[in-house]
Chains A and B, each alone.
Chain A
Amino acid sequence: MKDREVIVKLLRTVAARMRVARVLRETGFALCVVLFALAAFELIRASLADAINGFYQSVLMAALIAFCLLVVLRALKRVSMGQAASLIDARLPLHDELKSAYWFVSQQQQGGDGEAAFVRMHVANAARTAQRVRGARVLPFRLPRSLLMAIVPAVVLAGAMWSGPNLVRAGTAPNAVAQPQSDVQTARALLAATASDAEEIKQLDRALAMFEEKDISPQQLQLAADQAREAIDQVNMRAAVAREGLAKLARAMRDKPEFEPIARALEEGRTGDAIAMLERLRSENKGVAESGAKAGQADAAQSARSETQLDQSIGQSARELVSMTGAINDEALARLIDNLDDMETSMQMQQRVNETRARTSNMSDMMRMNSQRSSLTASRFDDREQRPTAEPSPDSGKSDLKGGTMFRQGALSRGEEPEADDGSTTGASTGHSAALALEGRATRRLEAQLKRETVRVDSDEESGEKSDDASWFYSASQQETAQAELAEVRARDDYNRADVMRPSRIPIQQQQAVRDYFINIHKGNSK
């Protein structure tokens, strides 16, 4: 009984190890196959991007899942004690000692006295052997070769994915569409923080709100992106005017000794310090503080002035500074402070908008990628891609390329006026400008169709003038005539043959004869 336990214990250990080894081996095999299939698919998709669509991907995925299930079933198959005994016998080698002994102990078979004694001795010998044997020595765990081989397709797959176009990779990412939504939300929050009622900010906010909508067409998305970009450009323009105005003011102040520290602060970009210094200067100038404050409030109400107005206001302030002699004009000082406030506001707004822009540009990139992966292409409304010889148009820039959305988006925004697009033949940024149909692409060379036939015209010798235009004309060549006739005969033949297949089963040439025949019968019957 003790011998039996020793043998069974060893066999159990080895059976467990065999199962683990099998799982490892099957996993390696499955990994190898799956990676190889994915790498092959990735390579094929990279080379035949148009031909491989989602259907093939689904089929591949289904096949791989089925394969993996099969492998799992195989891997989890039970390992019998007999198999474990066979393995030990083969590895050590023990000449079937354990296999045979396990069979005897599992059968509990007792023969005659002599044979039973032999069996007992055999089992005892096997138990002694089993005590010496260690499961780890019989079946040490090591990485299966198939798992190492899986490195090769893994490298190929990684290489294929790395070298493949980013467009494909970005589109395949499951969160590729979800990402812009969150970006839009943070961008809008950023805009709200500016607390400005400028028209550009409102426009930008409207555009961003459009991005948040779910049921929106790619064209509307594109339009929203254009509007957003336009608003951002406007804000940038105003900020540029503000910076220019600050420089102008700094130059004007530099001539006045009392304004020199303020000018330095403005040059160094410390607008806030400059305003504080000006406030201090103004408070020193007593008596007119009340009226200056009122004027300041009135100007502050115009928080959203156009860049032209801002430029004019700065120019006026600069002129007042230059013309200021002796006592400081408090009203001019108040206007200067207001202008500086406006400039600082513009620059802060630009900063915020630029942050928004960074997010918006990321998002619009994503949109562009998505729109390119969608079926909506620039050639959607044109049948040009169906034509046999798709060549680029001689009018460069007008050819409607598949996937042209990506290129045209960056080209030019649609202008409000038709003149805004002057100087560019790119067309609308949505990329749907209709190019002229390419003529003569599918036709044969002119020389093949026509031959020049010269007709000698007896010209008036007296006039001495040659009328070249009247002396020749084009006519069909013999070859062309023959081909046309052949085509006609073939077409006629086809037509006749096609008619045989009509439900009436009567060729068109014989239809009249048949009709006449039946009419005559009818008439004969009536007689």
Chain B
Amino acid sequence: MSTVTEERQQQLSGDVERQIEKFRDHFKRVSEEVSRIIVGNDDVISGVMTCLLVKGHVLLEGIPGVGKTKLVQTLADVMHLKFSRIQFTPDLMPGDIIGTNVVREDEAGTKHFEFQTGPIFANLVLADEINRATPKTQSALLEAMQENSVSAGGETHRLDQPFFVLATQNPIEMEGTYPLPEAQMDRFLFKLRLDFPAADQLYSIVDRTTQQAEPEVNRVLEQAQILEMRDIARSVPVSKPVMEYAIAITLATHPESEKGHDMAKKYVRFGSSPRGVQALILGAKVHALMSDRVHVSCEDIRAVTLAALRHRVLLNFEAEAERIETDDILQRILESVEEPSG
């Protein structure tokens, strides 16, 4: 009996090894393909992929022209997913996003309402300059992002999987914008920042985009493969000491908590929500897999902390006056929180 169990275990282990190998292979291929178009920002590409593989959504922040939209377009091309782009403007209405019921007349002359799906019904949705739409329109995304469904005309419509929202926003032009409400921000697993490229990266960008033929990408990932990768990513085990570390980091962002960091007590208005811990753990799982490990370590947690928590920590007036950023506070928290000994 025990021999049968051992054989079964060995077989499972072999399957796991193969699955992990496949996961890493797909991930690398996607990253390489995207890198053919997007110069630099490897960590951003990796972060976007991570969000996709753990059923999260990502908020991309960067000045105009650094390749936010291009990155999303390239990802859609590489992964062979249904892609739609929504350009957010102040006059954009929720119905423009989720769709609306329209009156249709069939061949018999009978009129009836028919739900006309909006651009949100896609696998990969680019919400470009999301902060330019009104909060009402922004909140149209709430249900879709959290529940993966859309309610319209008294009916709930399921969204096709994978459903992945990539929102972009410009941190400079704040006039005529509507900053995302906290609840909306909390829906995003990661907030990634695209930095201005360095000189050598600029050279590569110019070289690639100003010639007669622009580079093309290959489709390397199918929809089914993405769903399979999602299952693998969520299977990575996390021990309690590592979870405790993630929780300690999250609690340190809370000014009212006993375990709150001194800097958080001084500069933070609201700390991270429980979704922050989830984001830390899920992001760390993918990071662990991509670091040739089948277990999550505290190092993985640290690697995703900034991306997972920077948009969940709300600063107070004092921090804004002193130009303190959430990344500074999180960095200090990471330096001070000790790893549990187990």
Interface residues of chain A, those whose CB is within 8 Å of chain B, are 80-83, 85-86, 95-97, 99-104, 107, 111-122, 124-125
Contacts and interface: CB of A to CB of B under 8 A. Distances in A.
A118 B20 CA distance: 10
Contacts of B242: 96, 100
Interface SS of chain A: helix
Contacts of A107: 240
A100 B288 CA distance: 13
Interface in B1-39: 9, 12-13, 15-17
B181 interface: no
Interface residues of B, number: 27
B146 interface: no
Interface centre among B294, B295, B298 (most CB of A within 10 A): B295
A80 B237 contact: no
A100 B239 contact: yes
Interface centre among B9, B16, B17, B242 (most CB of A within 10 A): B16
B342 A120 contact: no
Given A103-B241, A104-B237, A117-B16, A80 B297 contact: no
Nearest to B9: A120
Contact of B239 (A83, A103, A112): A103
A80 to B, nearest CB: 7
Contacts of B239: 96, 99-101, 103-104
A519 B299 CA distance: 98
Closest 8 CB pairs of A and B: A82-B342, A96-B297, A100-B239, A117-B12, A103-B239, A95-B297, A114-B235, A86-B341
Contact of B240 (A80, A81, A103): A103
A121 B342 contact: no
Given A100-B296, A117-B12, 8 more contacts: A81-B342, A96-B242, A99-B239, A99-B341, A99-B342, A101-B295, A107-B240, A118-B237
Nearest to B240: A103
A442 to B, nearest CB: 63
B294 to A, nearest CB: 5
B327 interface: no
A83 B342 contact: yes
A121 B342 CA distance: 20
Contact of A115 (B13, B237, B299, B340): B237
Contacts of A112: 235
Given A83-B341, A86-B341, A103-B239, A95 B291 contact: yes
A107 B297 CA distance: 18
A118 B236 contact: yes
Contacts of B17: 121
Nearest to B291: A95
Contacts of A81: 342
Given A96-B295, A96-B298, A121 B13 contact: yes
Nearest to B10: A120
9 contacts: A82-B341, A86-B342, A95-B299, A103-B342, A111-B237, A115-B235, A117-B13, A117-B16, A121-B17
B232 to A, nearest CB: 8
B191 to A, nearest CB: 26
Contacts of A99: 239, 241, 341-342
A108 to B, nearest CB: 13
B231 interface: yes
Contact of B235 (A83, A95, A102, A118): A118
Interface in B328-342: 339-342
Contact of B294 (A80, A86, A96, A121): A121
Interface in B220-274: 231, 235-242
A227 B12 CA distance: 104
B293 interface: yes
A122 B294 contact: yes
Given A83-B341, A115-B235, A100 B13 contact: no
A97 B297 contact: yes
B291 A114 contact: no
Given A96-B297, A96-B299, A103-B240, A113 B12 contact: yes
A220 to B, nearest CB: 69
A121 B17 CA distance: 8
B293 A102 contact: no
A116 B15 CA distance: 12
Contact of B295 (A82, A83, A85, A97): A97
Nearest to B245: A96
B342 A85 contact: yes
A34 to B, nearest CB: 30
Given A96-B295, A96-B297, A97-B295, A120 B13 contact: yes
A121 B294 CA distance: 8
A86 B241 CA distance: 10
B217 to A, nearest CB: 31
Interface string B304-342: 000000000000000000000000000000000001111
A103 B341 CA distance: 11
A107 B299 CA distance: 22
